Each structure stands twice: as structure tokens, then as C-alpha cells.
Amino acid sequence: MKKLAILFAALGLSLSAAAQPASQGQYSRNIDPKQKQQLLQSEKIAFLTAELELTPEEAQRFWPVYNKAQDEIKSGNVAFREAQKALRAGIQEGKDEKEVKQLLSAYIKARKERPDVMAKYAGDFEKAIGAKKTAKLYVSEEKFRQSQIHKLSHKGPQGQHPDKGQRPQPRPQGAR
């Protein structure tokens, strides 16, 4: 019961944070990156909870599995970025063929491992929330990603561009 109360408190905070308009600095470039990440995470929790229509019981089973998968994705992303950075540095430093080949192998391995995490957890998600909601999870994650891309490219309440107060105007054909 205590876990359920904590879950609803966290969800309430997530919903209130997600409800803040963009004009209050939600996507401000001046906001601390950790705050931005927390806000994004809160929005994602609220979004997925609503999209999946999770019951309290399902939420209790789902979120620990989802968080574990997300932690794996984050560590995979870190490994990928490190391998990418090492490969770039190896090329710039003029490493020999053998060394670059090793760096390239590490990069390809890290790149291959990234997308498999959510597939790896599909069975666990199904046990927690059923096949239909698991399918909806994958669709909803993409929907959330697209909504974030849209928000970042059209900041402001009416899609105002951050620099001009309006959406950027398309260039006439032939203009550079």
C-alpha cells in the first residue's frame, strides 16, 4: 500500500510538471540539464501512464521493469558514445590500421546492442501488463519521441520559434 501511495505521489508530481506551459521555461536553454532531464522524465511517465491506461496494480508491476530497461538503455548509450568518441579520436590521431579496426569493432558492437534492450524486455512487459498494452507501449514511446521532437522544433504555446517569436518562414526556391 505504501508503494502505491508513493507511485501516485510521483505521478501527481509528474502530471503537474508536465502541465507547465513551455513559456515558463520548460524548454529554456538556460535551464539546468538535470532539471531538463527530470522534467522530460516526468512528462514521459505521465504520458505513458495515460496512453497505456495503467491500473495501480499494473503500474506497480510495470514501472520497475520499465525502469530497469531504461537503465540498460542509458548504460548502452554511454558505451556507444564512448566507443564513438574513441573511434573518432583514433582516426584523428592517425592510429594504424590494426588499432582503428579494433576501435571500429568496439563501435559496431556497441551500436548493435543499443536497440535490442526493449526487445529483450518484451516478455517481462507482457507479464506485467499484457500483450495489448505492451504493444501499445512500443507505439506510445515512438509517439512521445515524436511529440518531443515537435516541441523542440516549434517551441512556445502556439509553435513560436524561440528566436523570432514565430515559426521560421520557408526560404523562396533558389534562395540559399
pLDDT in tens, 93-149: 999 999 999 999 999 998 887 768 899 999 999 999 999 999 999 999 999 999 999
DSSP helix, strand, coil percent of the chain (3-state; round to 5): 75, 0, 25
User: Are the C-beta atoms of 140 and 52 separated by less than 8 Å?
Assistant: yes
Residue 5 above 70 pLDDT? no
Quote the pLDDT of residue 3.
44
State if pTM tops 0.85: no
Taking CA 122 as the corner, what is the angle to CA 144 and CA 114, rounded to the nearest 5 degrees? Answer: 70
Q: Does 20 fall in a domain?
A: no
Looking at the 3D structure of the chain, how many domains does it have?
1
User: Are the C-beta atoms of 137 and 145 separated by less than 8 Å?
Assistant: no
> What single DSSP character describes residue 167?
P
Find the mean pLDDT for residues 15-22.
42
User: Are the C-beta atoms of 51 and 140 separated by less than 8 Å?
Assistant: yes
Q: Does 83 fall in a domain?
A: yes
Say what angle helices 33-52 and 2-18 make with each other, to 10 degrees. 110
Q: Does 112 fall in a domain?
A: yes
> Residue 86 half-sphere exposure, CB side, CA atoms within 13 Å?
17
Range from 63-67, 86-90, 143-147, 167-171 carrying the lowest mean pLDDT: 167-171
**Owning domain of residue 126:** 33-149
The C-alpha atoms of residue 145 and residue 125 are separated, in whole angstroms, by 19
| Sign, CA torsion 37/43/48/54 | positive
Residue 165 above 80 pLDDT? no
Segment 19-76, tens digit of pLDDT:
444 434 445 567 788 898 899 999 999 999 999 999 999 999 999 999 999 999 998 8
Q: Does 16 fall in a domain?
A: no
Residue 10 above 60 pLDDT? no
Q: Does 1 fall in a domain?
A: no
Q: Does 47 fall in a domain?
A: yes
Quote the pLDDT of residue 29.
62
Q: Does 69 fall in a domain?
A: yes
Q: Does 158 fall in a domain?
A: no
Quote the pLDDT of residue 11.
47
